[in-house]
Amino acid sequence: MKKIFSIFIVFLLVSLILVGCGNKENKESKENKELEKVTVVLDWVPNTNHTGLYVAKNKGYYEEKGLDVEIIQPSEGGTANLIANEQGDFGISYQEEVTYARTSENPLPVKAISAIIQNNTSGFASLKEDGVTSPKDFEGKKYGGFGAPMEEAMIKGLMEKDNADFSKVEMVNIGSLDFFTAVQDHVDFTWIYYGWDGVASEEKEIDLNFIKLQDFDENLNFYTPVIIANEKLLKDKPELAEKFLEATSKGYEYAIENPKDAATELLKDNPEIDENIAIESQKYLAGEYKKDIDRWGEMKSEIWTNYANWMYERELIENELNVQEAYTNEFLPEK
C-alpha cells in the first residue's frame, strides 16, 4: 500500500510539472503572437501616394510580419524633425527635406530607406487658355506658391535654361489655397503634382498646360515622396525596418496590380477623399511606382547627387551632401 501511494505521489508531481510547462508554453506562445507597435508619420493629409501603406495595413501584411502599424498625420515641425526626435518609427518625407536635414549646421539623424515613386511627377501648371507652354512664357505672369526659397530657385533655374528673365515674374504667396481656385481666380501658374491635381483636372475636364521639371533639367528628377527612419532605429532594430519595408513593398505591389481596389483600401480609412479622383490617381500612380526599375523602393546615387549639387550651387543648402548618409537600399526586400 505504501508503494502504491508513493507511485501515485510521483505521478501527481509529474502531471503538475507537465501542466506547468504547458501553461508556460501557452503563455510564451501568446506573448510571441503579440504585435510590435509601429507608428508611421505622414508628410501631409492622406492621399494616393500613401495607398500602399493602407493596403498593407488593411490586408494584414503588417500583421503577418508581427507589426501593429498606426498611420498618423504630422503635427507642426515636419516629418524629418519628428522622426529625428523619435516621435514616430517611420515617416513619409521627400528628398529635398532629407537633403536639408542632413546638410544643416546641426544635421538631423534621418535617412531615406525607400522611394515611394521612382520619378518626380511635379511641375508648373496653368490653364490651357493662358498659353504658358515653356519657362519662357513665365515672363509677365503671376506665380502662386507657399513662399519657400526653393520655389524661386526652381522657377529661376528653369527660366535660365530657357533664356528667360526671372525678374519679370510676380511671386505671390497663396498659402493653402487649392490649385483650381488659385489659377482660376488669383494667379497664372503654380506648382502641382500631376498624380493628384493633374488627374483631377482631367476628371473635371479642365484643360491644363503642364511643365514637368525634369523635362527642362534632368537634375530636377528627384525622389518625392520617400520613407525615412531615424539612424538609431536602423542601428538598433534593423529587423524592424526590414519587416516594415517587406510588408509595405507588398502593399505597393498590390496597388500596382490592382489600382482600383487599392484606392478602395485608402478610402476605407479616409472617406473624405474624392472617390473618382482617388481611383484615377491610383491608376496613374500604378505606372509610376516602379517605372524604369525592377524593385519597388530602390534608389539611385546619381539622383541624390544631382539634386543636392543643384541645391548647393544655388546656395539652398549650407554644405555639400554626403549621399551615403542620406539614403540606403539596405533594408529593402531581396530582388
Q: What is the pLDDT of residues 88-120, one digit of tens each?
A: 999 999 999 999 999 999 999 999 999 999 999
Q: How far apart are CA 145 and CA 182, in angstroms?
A: 9
Q: Which residues contact 108 (CB under 8 A, 6 or more apart)?
A: 80, 81, 84, 101, 102
- Comma-separated ranges of CATH 3.40.190.10 domains in the chain: 36-118+223-325, 122-220
Strand partners, 229: 90, 111
> How distant, in Å, are the alpha carbons of 63, 67, 68, 228, 251 from that of 60?
5, 9, 9, 22, 10
Query: Residue type for 163, please?
Result: N
Residue with cell 507597435: 37
> How distant, in Å, are the alpha carbons of 41, 44, 75, 198, 199 from that of 78?
9, 9, 7, 25, 26
Q: How far apart are CA 77 and CA 174, in angstroms?
A: 20
Q: Which CATH architecture has domain 122-220?
A: 3-Layer(aba) Sandwich (3.40)
Strand partners, 124: 191, 211
Nearest to 57 by CA among 78, 44, 72, 76: 72
> What is the pTM for the complete model shown?
0.87
CB 111 within 8 A of CB 231: yes
Tens digits of per-residue pLDDT, 221-279?
A: 999 999 999 999 999 999 999 999 999 999 999 999 999 999 999 999 999 999 999 99
For residue 73 the three cell numbers come to: 498625420
- The helix (run of H) or strand (run of E) holding residue 221 is none
Q: How far apart are CA 91 and CA 84, in angstroms?
A: 10
Class of 36-118+223-325 in CATH: alpha beta
Q: Where are the beta strands (DSSP E) in 138-234?
A: 142-145, 170-173, 189-193, 208-212, 226-230
Tens digits of per-residue pLDDT, 118-154?
A: 999 999 999 999 999 999 999 999 999 988 889 999 9
